Structure 1
């Protein structure tokens, strides 16, 4: 009875810590919506400068493996997950509150760049620590004899839904707040929310989470060595390489589609915001469906199904650009809200089953560094995808005023999306209890 009670208390503590953490991180779209308007209207920066800042601010995300190794190897007051979550929340709170306080004055471009970098550094640290807890707990549940057959993916689904709820709320509230309040107030509101997260985290002891015990505290070099050993496992490095390449080989045409929708079709910005909300709602629904019905499906099969669905929706975009749906009586605005919003988030659907897979394959003691390496590889893959998209748009002759080559570009994009399926065997089949099924 005592062990059951302790187990329930540990589960509640984990869900409180992770639920708040992932929800707050999902809300990051709220202040960033304010940043874009503040830079455009308040600081009068040109579009290229805005884009440079948006990409530069994500640089801390690339160093996630470093934060993962650090949290795996360096303990703070005998804890190596919760203190990093508190630290990350604190850095973000300082960043957004400072921007809010000084935004009304003549804040320099370099200053706001620094504080946004600081905020994303804090966000990266929080995400790494949270992902490590999810991976550790998922592995523990998968290997537990007393756990349900599909319980290993339950926590992943929970945090996925928490993040999606935050994204839905952030886009909805942000769309309203940008017209009703100042951007400075938006920054301050999010900074206060992060301060509350920091305060709550301080009262949670890592021992209450019932995380797997590490054999001993190891140094940074030792942890780096263990990460390299883990990455040398064929099931891990083949999976990560394939997963990253499945994104990198797809030339992203999101910028081109944005110009096509806003400049050519004259779609209102409010409808584009609703489209993002619809996409976040779809991600939330995906978490629910996965948790209830798809956890027992082999990851390889599920990831391949998502990849095929992506190609189908891209082909649907070809029909959209050629005016097929318009001739059927479907308004362009309806297609953009529903189909374009869904395709935008469909790219992320396969991350959930892949995280469950990696939690099962990851060796004990380096969950944080391995999961951080995975997310860093995905981030790098998206960068490569973006560069390929620029090259593809140039190849098919798409410009800001001429979209005649867009259908051909989308067809090439669809073919590239199906291309990784020929090597999907790199993703191992894993049984529900975490044992690999040999091919």
Structure 2
């Protein structure tokens, strides 16, 4: 029962019910374009149409799919996802990551092992995503939990990009500045993640579609960014490209506007008391094996596979004759191909695999990644030339296949993470699961840096690169051993009350629902929003 207020008035409305008012207020029947929830699954599948629709059929399918999502969750939510994923991450992060490789190689002139280390440091803000959730949820600024913090980090992003562009910094300061640029992307990402996780649980039939929206938007944004990243690095240099990127963080302010946030309630606990309650609920939920076991798999699936990207990058750009000596423009084109393949992987999952059990999808994705990883072995040993296949043509196919398969693995992982989050702590828990994935990727980078150092791979010696590729590819089989940690269920299955127990813990003093977690767009005590990386 709801505790009566001290003045004897009407009892407070249950905050869990408040959280889902967004969905109840949407009148799906009023929109002629959209069928009832029980009649549709929100997928991208086409329906029968006149033959003259064929030339614009993809656009019609996409527009109706976006209309269904807008009808179910609100157009402002869809707009915010596009801003955060398409612009902040798709353009800002992807171009920055591409450009950083040249910055450390050509401007700072570091070795491949050092470059691998320095390029892994900017990922740290993504590894501590739950901290951003706790910070913004517990310490409002001027009555705002989201907008003020996004504004602050946007200014930080502009400052850091601009500083790296304008000043020749020492290695340590340059690394810190690039970490700052990722803080400006990670915090808005957390804010959107909570909204995605909450909606995935409220309407599980749309869970796969929400992840398709986020990953598809990310792919399109990356395509736009990569279309000019190569020419930008070629004509402006890496520091000039950083100068262009300095304007990107300000655009995340549009996401703050799109994710509605009522003024912070004055009668709710805040500060460190709220942090303590949120942490108590979080660790209570993590004791449920249905949650910590998949969380462990999310980390291990990334961490067990060494990442030797930097060594491969040095070899691809080597112009001494050992490597193919690809130009900046071609590598930019290659990144564009990779993002097209990523988009293809998202579509393939939404069309054909969204109802398949998680274990089956992860199993075949890992096996396929091992096979496609061996394509790198053919490339670095130059066997492709013996068969008359030019390096440029072979590497394009290699990149497309690997990126498409990798997304057939990552999209269901995001869906799994969103479906695991119990009511009331969606934001913190989803941020934690995604930070585990990022931490696993960083572990893989450090493991890869150690591997190429042990094998003696340097900026001028690539004699053992083939061995590094072989070890990396075979180690991609290791996550299969831990598939028992993943629920043998499909995204639309009933997972039960994961971490829930008998009810929602409440503050014994005030009766306030403290499970309203950090950064939950419409799901906080005072209400508000949050993404994946």
**What interval of TM-score do these two structures reach, taking the shorter chain for normalisation?**
0.7 to 0.9
Query: 75, 87, 96: which one pairs with 1:12?
Result: 75
Matches within 5 A, 1:31-430: 31-34=96-99, 46-47=110-111, 53-71=118-136, 73=138, 80=145, 84-97=149-162, 103=166, 112-142=174-204, 150-181=205-236, 186-198=241-253, 200-204=254-258, 206=260, 219-263=274-318, 264-269=322-327, 270-340=329-399, 342-343=401-402, 346-347=405-406, 349-393=408-452, 398=457, 403-430=462-489
**C-alpha contact 1:96 1:119 (8 A) present in aligned 2:** yes
Query: 84, 103, 110: which one pairs with 1:21?
Result: 84
Closer/same/farther in 2, CA of residues 193 and 273 from structure 1, 3 Å limit = closer
Q: Distance in 2 between matches of 1:183 and 1:391?
A: 27
Aligned residue pair count: 420
- Give, in angstroms, the shift of residue 223 of structure 1: 0.7
Q: Distance in 2 between matches of 1:255 and 1:2?
A: 48
Q: What are the superposed Cα offsets for residues 275-331 of structure 1, whole Å, 9 maximum, x if unpaired?
A: 222111111122222223322122221122211111011223333344443222211
- Give, in angstroms, the shift of residue 21 of structure 1: 0.9
Higher helix share: 1
Gapped regions of structure 2 (runs ≥ 5)? 1-24, 32-69, 263-267, 497-533
Secondary structure of 1:304's match?
helix
Gapped regions of structure 1 (runs ≥ 5)? 143-149, 209-214
Q: What are the superposed Cα offsets for residues 29-59 of structure 1, whole Å, 9 maximum, x if unpaired?
A: 3345555556666x65545776654333333
**C-alpha contact 2:344 2:404 (8 A) present in aligned 1:** no
Q: Distance in 1 between matches of 2:129 and 2:210?
A: 21
| Structure 1 range deviating more: 316-325 or 362-371 | 316-325
- Give, in angstroms, the shift of residue 378 of structure 1: 2.1
Q: Distance in 2 between matches of 1:181 and 1:56?
A: 24
**C-alpha contact 1:272 1:336 (8 A) present in aligned 2:** no
Closer/same/farther in 2, CA of residues 388 and 111 from structure 1, 3 Å limit = closer
- Give, in angstroms, the shift of residue 11 of structure 1: 2.2
Q: Distance in 2 between matches of 1:397 and 1:381?
A: 24
Q: Distance in 1 between matches of 2:241 and 2:379?
A: 36
Secondary structure of 2:185's match?
helix
**C-alpha contact 1:82 1:204 (8 A) present in aligned 2:** no
TM-score between the two structures when normalised by the length of structure 1: 0.82
- Which protein shows a greater Rg? 2
Query: 2:3 is matched with which residue?
Result: none
**C-alpha contact 2:104 2:115 (8 A) present in aligned 1:** yes
- Give, in angstroms, the shift of residue 194 of structure 1: 2.9
Q: Over the residues paired in the alignment, what is the CA RMSD in angstroms?
A: 3.4
- Give, in angstroms, the shift of residue 176 of structure 1: 1.8
Q: Distance in 1 between matches of 2:146 and 2:350?
A: 25
